[in-house]
Amino acid sequence: MKTATIPSVRVDPEFRAQVEQVLGEGESLSQFVEAAVRACVSQRKSQAEFVARGMKSLASARRSGEYVDAGEVMQGLRSKLTAAKRQSAARR
């Protein structure tokens, strides 16, 4: 399979210098840019999937008429967090 290229991006020399300063050992600027683009694509896909799940859940709730109060959800999450903190403290 042939490879394709991503268009060049013009940036200020100062910004390029900042990017070059954070490159890993042996990492090229091209490798950094590719990794950054891949990470952004992955994040956007995850975000789109999250929104799609939320929309599906909303549609399901509207069809069934069954909703969970936000306060109940928050209280449940607080309880889980408290329990996890206690468990973590007990391990130390």
Specify the number of domains making up the chain.
Answer: 1
| Closest of 14, 9, 44 to residue 30, by C-alpha | 9
Q: Is residue 7 part of a domain?
A: no
> CA torsion 32→34→35→41, rounded to 10°?
140
Q: Is residue 60 part of a domain?
A: yes
Q: Is residue 55 part of a domain?
A: yes
pLDDT in tens, 22-71: 999 999 999 999 999 999 999 999 999 999 999 999 999 999 999 999 99
Q: Is residue 1 part of a domain?
A: no
Give the domain extent around 76.
Answer: 13-91
Distance between CA atoms of 20 and 14, rounded to whole angstroms? 10
CB 19 within 8 A of CB 32: yes
Q: Is residue 4 part of a domain?
A: no
Q: Is the confidence at residue 1, as pLDDT, over 90?
A: no
Q: Is residue 6 part of a domain?
A: no
Residues 6+ apart with CB under 8 A from 37: 6
